Amino acid sequence: MSKQIFVFLGPPGVGKGTQAAKLAADLKLPHISTGDLFRDHLKRETELGLKAKGYMNEGKLVPDELVVDLVMDRIKNEDCNAGFILDGFPRTVAQDEALEKALSANGEKVSAALYFDAPRDTIVERISGRRTCRGCGAMYHVKYAPTKQDGVCDACGGETYQREDDAAEKVSERLSEYDNKTGPLVPHYREKGLLKEFDAQGGVDEIYAQVKAFAEGLKSQA
């Protein structure tokens, strides 16, 4: 059976990471979030983390050359042999070209691009209410997925915080980066016949039921 390679696409805060994590757990595939990879480098203060920091904190995309090498290295790992889920990559046409080139060199290709969208006020509400655990990275939302105790992670007891780039003044920059640089990937994947659109306005489980049904449908065709 060919590798299952999924791209999760959509504006910041729409909920693609939440859905990608659920599908990765169900399909037992690695969930590769470029945002998480960069945050890990930032936390460890690596050279890459320090280079990415300014861009991320400003709500701008990190330059393609820094992202592409990071992802290409990651997908060579043995845990990607059966496939993988890319969350937040590719985010520019150049990143997509680099991915396609690397995959086609091994006779592989993206199985599908799952595109999530919701009205901007929904997105802003999701971003502004998001809280993340400093310890284990678990994600919460003050209204939709609150911690049992305010500011304390249910999973590990660590402190929850608001990501610097989730501050209101950074969100409009992130949305504008998305519109200008990532938005063009939507028609691009549609033309390739790889785009599957999801209305991300509903609850997490309601959306996930559709995601799972789609992934299972693809698997049965493979």
The two three-digit tokens of residue 186, written as one number: 């939507």
Contact residues for 142 (Cβ-Cβ < 8 A; gap 6+): 129, 131
174 assigned to active site: yes
User: Can residue 203 be called a binding residue for ligand AP5 (CB under 6 A)?
Assistant: yes
User: Can residue 214 be called a binding residue for ligand AP5 (CB under 6 A)?
Assistant: no
134 assigned to active site: no
User: Can residue 110 be called a binding residue for ligand AP5 (CB under 6 A)?
Assistant: no
Contact residue for ligand AP5 among 130, 175, 189, 195 (CB under 6 A): 130
User: Can residue 14 be called a binding residue for ligand AP5 (CB under 6 A)?
Assistant: yes
User: Can residue 31 be called a binding residue for ligand AP5 (CB under 6 A)?
Assistant: no
The two three-digit tokens of residue 192, written as one number: 């390739």
Collect contacts of 102-108 with beta carbons under 8 A, ≥24 apart.
102/72, 102/75, 103/5, 108/2, 108/3, 108/5
**Identity of the residue, 58 or 108, whose beta carbon is nearer to ligand AP5 in the bound complex:** 58
Which one from 3, 39, 126, 130 is the annotated catalytic residue? 130
By CB under 6 A, which span of 12-20, 23-31, 105-113, 209-217 interacts with ligand AP5? 12-20
User: Can residue 198 be called a binding residue for ligand AP5 (CB under 6 A)?
Assistant: no
Rounded to a whole number of angstroms, the distance between the first and last alpha carbons of the chain is 7
**Identity of the residue, 23 or 222, whose beta carbon is nearer to ligand AP5 in the bound complex:** 23
Of residues 134-173, those binding ligand AP5 (CB under 6 A): 139, 141, 144-145, 165
16 assigned to active site: yes
**Identity of the residue, 2 or 26, whose beta carbon is nearer to ligand AP5 in the bound complex:** 26
Selection from 148, 107, 155, 165 nearest residue 133 by Cα: 155
User: Which residues does residue 87 pair with via DSSP β-bridges, in sequence order?
Assistant: 8, 33
Q: Report the nearest approach of ligand AP5 to the CB of residue 34 (Å).
A: 3
Known catalytic residues are 16, 91, 130, 163, 174
Q: Would you tell me which residues interact with ligand AP5 (CB under 6 A)? A: 10, 12-18, 33-35, 38, 55-56, 59-62, 67, 88-89, 91, 95, 126-127, 129-130, 139, 141, 144-145, 165, 174, 203-204, 207
